[in-house]
Amino acid sequence: MNERIKQLTNLTLEGKMYVEPVKTKLEKENSFISRIDYEVTSLCKYILNQEPVVNQYSAFTGRFNFDGSVVGDAFKRGGHKYNQMALGKYYLKPINNVSTMEWQHATADYKKVLEKGILGIIEEIEQSIEKYKNDIERIEFLNGLKRVAYTLIKWSEKCSERVNQLAQGIENEESRQRLKKLSSALLNVPKNKASNFYEAVLSIYICFSADPDSIGTLDRYLSPYYFNDIEKGVITKEEAKEYLQELFLMLQASTHINSVHFTRGGESHFCIGGYLPNGNDGFNELSELIVQAMLELPTYNHS
């Protein structure tokens, strides 16, 4: 582990890399607009009001947290009107010994984000809008998705601006260049498809905010970028490990230090290896590097 990662590790375990939600003043619910329109408007305003956590040691940024004031991430269900009421009434309380309400884990389609970018996903949304143009409810929902997707692009642009501002005041040349690289990359991803391993990891880092749960089969969807960069000499194994470690530190920092769940390692469930669709062994050089990256970190293990 190099000095940069050591510094980020210390900040993470001190709780200083946790992204504190920025309270956002929302308009009172208007009886003349639909529930979806109100929730989407509030969500977009909330996201763009957040501030990224970034410092001289950062190679990535873009994470944000929800405070429950808006309909937020898919995993915590924060902001949903009747969420707390339902949890209080049904969580781990069997109904006639038949049905029990409990959390379900989910994995976002990071592979699609890396291969298409948010603009590519917006194109899919527009195709669905054309397909269901006579279904008012579906159209409203799809238009809401499109607005949120564009907001994530604007959020990345805001992060780029903040990183660039920080870089101007950094004296250390290595740190300044790293921040300039980050500022530039934030203007490309996750807006567009990732062009290299660095941009691929950055895309995951940002999009994790929308579904802070599992990051899925990490080695499978990162392998094309890793092996392509290694072959072309764009990146070294040590640099790739460094980026992976910063990603894992972000997962750890996604839980507040005062939470009883802080020692669960970010509660991010993911896997590596396994059988590929063709029956071959999926464990490869990147899979092993992921294990090495995690074992070097003196943090709580992910599961």
Question: DSSP H helical segments within 23-97, as ranges?
Answer: 35-48, 83-90
pLDDT of residue 73: 85
| Tokens found for residue 277 | 């669709």
Most confident of 30-39, 87-96, 294-303: 30-39
Asked if the model's pLDDT at residue 303 lies above 60, the reply is no
In this prediction, residue 286 has a pLDDT band, given cuts at 50, 70 and 90, of very high
Task: Give the whole-angstrom CA distance, residue 108 versus residue 147.
Answer: 18
* Cβ partners under 8 Å of residue 95, min gap 6: none
| Tokens found for residue 1 | 């582990």
Asked if the model's pLDDT at residue 74 lies above 80, the reply is no
Q: Which of 84-88, 180-184, 232-236, 244-248 is predicted with the least confidence, judged by mean pLDDT?
A: 84-88
Beta-strand ranges (E) seen in the chain are 216-217, 270-271
pLDDT of residue 77: 73
Would you kindly state where each structural domain of the chain is located, as residue ranges?
1-16+215-303, 19-212
Task: Give the whole-angstrom CA distance, residue 226 versus residue 114.
Answer: 13
- Quick check: 41 and 32 in contact, CB under 8 A? no
Q: State what percent of residues in the chain have pLDDT above 70.
A: 99
Mean pLDDT of 277-290: 96
Q: How many CB atoms are located within 10 Å of the residue 214 CB?
A: 21
Mean pLDDT of 32-47: 94
Q: What is the mean pLDDT of the chain?
A: 93
**pLDDT tens digit sequence for 171-200:** 999 999 999 999 999 999 999 999 999 999
- Tell me how many degrees the CA angle 38-71-210 measures, rounded to the nearest 5: 125
| Bridge partner residues of 271 (DSSP) | 217
In this prediction, residue 302 has a pLDDT band, given cuts at 50, 70 and 90, of low
In this prediction, residue 31 has a pLDDT band, given cuts at 50, 70 and 90, of confident
Q: State what percent of residues in the chain have pLDDT above 90.
A: 80
pLDDT of residue 68: 92
Task: Give the whole-angstrom CA distance, residue 255 versus residue 18.
Answer: 7
pLDDT of residue 87: 82
DSSP 266: G
**pLDDT tens digit sequence for 95-115:** 777 777 777 778 899 999 999
